[in-house]
Amino acid sequence: MLREIAYCLLGLAIAAYSLEYVLAAGDDPKEPARLRSGPPLVGHIIGIYRHGMAYFSKTCKTTNEEIFTIAIFNLKLYISNSHRLNAFIQKNSKSLSFRPFIKVTVKAFGDASPETDKLFEGALLDDFSHAMKNGLAPGPQLDEQNLRMGIAAVRHVDELVEKEEIVLIKWVDDAIVQATSAGVYGKNHPYTDPKVVAAFWKWMEYNLAHLFGADITGKGYAARAIVFKAFQDYCRDLPDDCSFVVRERLRTLYDHGVSMDEAAKQEATFSIAAFPNTIPTMYWVLYEVFSRPELLQELRDEISTQAVSRMEGNGVLLDVSALKTKCPLLLGVIQETQRTRHMHANIRKVMQDTVLDGKYLLKAGNYVQMPGAPIHASAGIWGPTTDAFDPHRFLPKPDNDRASGSFMAWGAAPHLCPARQFATTEVMLITAMLVLRVDLRPTEPGGWERNPEVRTDDSSTLGRPLKELLLRVEKRDGWQGEWKLEMGESRTRISLASG
């Protein structure tokens, strides 16, 4: 019996290697070289299942090739391991396009009806993207959105300072969901209902499965339906404090003939980009700041001298415009956190055969991925201290000759995250208030691990922590009065390294 099993396994192995050899024989010699997996045929599938988007960064460490192929049966993923080649990919934005993935999310995440899906094959797709970009551009409308978000954030920090202990990730989850939603959807937003919040996170557990229609139990679809229903109720009677970007997105959908119920489902998908990406960024910024006493003091000095003033009594006025323009170390901490903990891989579809740099043939119907981690870890770009956490590397310098496109936390041009100004403002605001108002310390010795494990089974740009961290909250004297916000110049733009 054992001999028969051994022969069977040997036969399967020979068949797998033979099939992989046959598939590879069809490669064009100009295509990037294949990166062999462990087990033939299924090795890369196993790797992607185990590590998610982080798998592409891991594979980059195993080869010196500046671009290589990960083959999954007949499908090819061309993985760029080079900042130099990324520039060529970005220049070929029509033949190497992100547009098909916007279309995919409309159906897979937004559950578009056949009629709505058909509309997105025309001008609606570009018009919808432009509405998003224009609606989030710096100006009076974004200021109003930032102010609503900031007021909600102040309230959450007010509540935090009265606590003795918090579980950091749970507090960040709640603060970001509520503050972001207040900014975007107004005070009476759909996520004021805890059942809708719980349904959203259950939906996210199945989000990647929905890309492949693999939600076998239907639990993810059921949770999504709860979120959709909440947004349909919301869109039937938009509140006066609804943001400009929401109105623009809905107007665009309605103008192209999308029904209200269908438009509300697409509006609900905004949360997928907002919460799962801002939350881990916020978490790790706080983690890095409060685990480094010298950096914490530097930030306190910068923020207290550049961005706050005292009001009558014991009040504190936080100048949001000054935070964005006069606190380069605070911004540097955020960007260094993104650089060192980034795990996302930007993706493009090959729409037609394309030759990069006159050397590498990318064949139509396949995909190109640009992992950010190899670029963010390149000593050629970031210098010999690339492995160190050093927020000072982002401080303005007259001799800064770092190549454009070397910071990929917000995507790769021309498809940068349109909400990057809003999200960065949110992280800056919350960090500034916590830095001045409290000390946060782990309740257990050794709580500040340098490289704690993270989840890699989702598509967020930074990984969520696997382990919860319990922190003791201690008020700081002199900073516990009433806090208010001043918005400042309406077109103030944060000088992000990504542009």
Residues at the binding site for heme are 417
For 304-321, give one letter per residue: b (16+ CB within 10 A) or e: bebbbeeeeeeebebbbb
Helix crossing, 168-185 with 140-160: angle to 10°?
Answer: 150
Asked if residues 207 and 458 have their Cβ atoms less than 8 Å apart, the reply is yes
Residue whose C-alpha is closest to residue 286's, from 418, 177, 401, 171? 171
Q: State CA 140 to chain mean position distance.
A: 25
- CA 175 – CA 275 distance, rounded (Å): 10
- CA 146 – CA 182 distance, rounded (Å): 9
- CA 44 – CA 394 distance, rounded (Å): 36
Specify the residue for token string 């719980």.
Answer: 198
Q: Establish whether the linkage from the previous residue to 414 is cis, with ω within 30° of 0.
A: yes
- CA 327 – CA 396 distance, rounded (Å): 11
- CA 402 – CA 414 distance, rounded (Å): 19
For 15-32, give one letter per residue: b (16+ CB within 10 A) or e: eeeeebeebeeebeeebb
Strand-pair partners of 318: 308, 485
Enumerate long-range contacts of 118-125, CB under 8 Å, 24 or more apart.
119/256, 119/257, 119/258, 122/256, 123/256, 124/252, 124/253, 124/256, 124/258, 125/99
